[in-house]
Amino acid sequence: MAIFILLVILLIPSASYSQDDFPPPGIFIPCCSSGGTGGHTGATYGENGQSAWKQVWGAAPGDVVTFQFVLRARSAGSLHAYPRTTGGSDPQYIGDYSYPYQTWYWNTQGRRDKGGTFCLDCLWQFTANYWDPWIYIDYWDSGDGWDVDLNVTNIQTPKRQVIPQAKKDAAREKAGKQLAWATSIGVVGSQCRLWWPACVGIAALSGAFALDSYRQSNIANDPPRSDYWVIHEPRFDFPINGQLYWYPWLPEDGSAPSGMADSFNQYVVDATVADGWNEMALISAERALGADEVGDDYWFWTQQSQSEYALRQAGFRYYDISYDLFVLVWYFRQYGDEWVYEEGDYLSNVVERAAYSYWELADSFTQ
């Protein structure tokens, strides 16, 4: 009976054990180093230093390096160690605190013979700024006998970006707005009580907003294409490259206020040109990514340049579209407005918001 009680006492963790006490019950610390610190991380208490040097061969600027911090032995002293690099961003801990082996930081409980700042086995990551950088350990106030290895586990070259993220974000944001405007303005167009050219023009606004929303969504995603060696030339086929095939060239025949039909026509012309440039930007970006996948630098940079040029041209045309919309706002307010139930506002105000939105998109694309 006494032996059984003794075994239970040995197997049950002490009530005074805290989750961040070191060493935790049942944790095995292997020995010894495979060339990391050589069994000597710290010198004596209160001294600082650097150790566990390892060069990351093959890492290039921009590569994401993942490495492993492994504790191989421990002394009776505490350890405070931080991974560092000579040529990259500050290493970031990417372990999981819910696993004892990966836990970073063990409470010393105010003592200098246990715990500290380290893990038993966890991953860290940084982005290289130079070729073949070094990683190492910065330690301070550590005791003799600690043994740490740093092991490179992965070097990842991220896919190059063709369209800058800021422009993708702007395109994604505007795509959602344009689709909402297309829907609400489309309802107005179907129930329009204004002059027939105005009603057709309002329907064109709805269709053009929807088509542009589609283009912006694709620009935000740009999947790779395999035909990366093909140069895409922009097309400007009125109206909006055949996608608004039902739109006629509105006549200035006196059936609407003077100049209104021409203003709608000019808007559709500018939307056609913008769509052509956006299509070129999208296809060229997808082909650049296709070239990147096969490691063809010449075609990557060729298609990237094509995409950048086309996106800037689309941005300049968006300034024109913004102006066109402001002109239409004036016509609506002068001669006749419609209530947009889905927006809870007048058509002129909805179109005005669209005009400002296109101006912001132009600012983003022309940078």
- Whether residues 128 and 209 share a domain: the answer is no
Give φ, ψ of 50 to 5 degrees: -135, 145
Percent of the chain with pLDDT over 90: 19
Six token digits for residue 70: 């492994």
C-alpha distances in angstroms, 130 versus 17, 68, 83, 89, 292? 45, 20, 17, 10, 21
Q: Each residue of 333-353: b (16+ CB within 10 Å) or e?
A: eeebbbebeebeebbbbbbbb
Q: How many CA atoms lie within 13 A of 38 on its CB side?
A: 7
| Domain-located, residue 272 | yes
Q: What is the pLDDT of residue 108?
A: 64
Q: Across all residues in the chain, what is the average pLDDT? A: 78
For residue 261, give the 3-state DSSP assignment.
Answer: helix
- Whether residues 26 and 61 share a domain: the answer is yes
Give φ, ψ of 33 to 5 degrees: -65, 150
pLDDT at 2 over 90: no
C-alpha distances in angstroms, 293 versus 59, 226, 289, 297? 19, 9, 6, 10
Selection from 38-42, 204-208, 267-271 with the highest mean pLDDT: 267-271
pLDDT at 65 over 90: yes
Mean pLDDT (whole number) for 287-309: 89
Average the pLDDT over each of 19-23, 219-223, 301-305, 326-330 and give the range with the smallest value: 19-23
Q: What is the pLDDT of residue 110?
A: 63
Mean pLDDT (whole number) for 10-24: 45
Q: What is the pLDDT of residue 222?
A: 65
pLDDT at 66 over 70: yes
Mean pLDDT (whole number) for 131-137: 91
| Domain-located, residue 228 | yes
Contacts of 26 by beta carbon, 8 Å cutoff, 6+ apart: none
The Cα 153–Cα 107 span in angstroms is 28
| Domain-located, residue 214 | yes
| Domain-located, residue 3 | no
Q: Write the pLDDT tens digit of every residue in 282-294.
A: 899 889 888 888 8
pLDDT at 29 over 70: no
- Whether residues 207 and 305 share a domain: the answer is yes
| Domain-located, residue 5 | no
Give the Cβ contact number of residue 290 at 10 Å: 21
Selection from 184-193, 197-206, 332-341 with the highest mean pLDDT: 332-341
Q: What is the pLDDT of residue 280?
A: 92
- Whether residues 141 and 177 share a domain: the answer is no
Pick the more confident residue, 33 or 355.
355
| Domain-located, residue 4 | no
Six token digits for residue 48: 């600082």
| Domain-located, residue 241 | yes
Q: What is the pLDDT of residue 19?
A: 46
- Whether residues 26 and 139 share a domain: the answer is yes
Six token digits for residue 194: 């204004």
- Whether residues 170 and 62 share a domain: the answer is no
| Residue that finishes a domain, picked among 130, 156, 182 | 156
- Whether residues 218 and 345 share a domain: the answer is yes
- Whether residues 132 and 188 share a domain: the answer is no
- Whether residues 176 and 299 share a domain: the answer is yes
Tokens 């130079």 correspond to: 130
Question: In which band, very low, low, confident or very high, does the pLDDT at 189 lie, cut at 50, 70 and 90?
Answer: low
Mean pLDDT (whole number) for 1-21: 40
- Whether residues 60 and 106 share a domain: the answer is yes
| Residue that finishes a domain, picked among 114, 134, 156 | 156
Per the structure, the count of domains in the chain is: 2
Mean pLDDT (whole number) for 218-223: 68
| Nearest CA among 130, 104, 101 for reference residue 116 | 104
pLDDT at 337 over 80: yes
| Domain-located, residue 316 | yes
| Residue that finishes a domain, picked among 156, 182, 201 | 156
Average the pLDDT over each of 83-97, 140-154, 315-329, 332-346 and give the range with the smallest value: 140-154
- Whether residues 176 and 216 share a domain: the answer is yes
> What interhelical angle do 297-335 and 347-365 show, nearest 10?
160
Question: In which band, very low, low, confident or very high, does the pLDDT at 111 lie, cut at 50, 70 and 90?
Answer: low
Average the pLDDT over each of 24-38, 46-60, 90-104 and give the range with the smallest value: 24-38
Instruction: Extract long-range pairs of 355-358: CB within 8 Å, 24+ residues apart.
Output: 355/322, 355/323, 355/325, 355/326, 355/329, 356/322, 357/174, 357/177, 357/178, 358/174, 358/318, 358/319, 358/321, 358/322, 358/325
pLDDT at 8 over 60: no
- Whether residues 354 and 236 share a domain: the answer is yes
Question: In which band, very low, low, confident or very high, does the pLDDT at 67 lie, cut at 50, 70 and 90?
Answer: very high
Pick the more confident residue, 224 or 4.
224
> Domain limits at 152?
16-156
Q: What is the pLDDT of residue 114?
A: 65
pLDDT at 325 over 50: yes
Give the Cβ contact number of residue 22 at 10 Å: 22
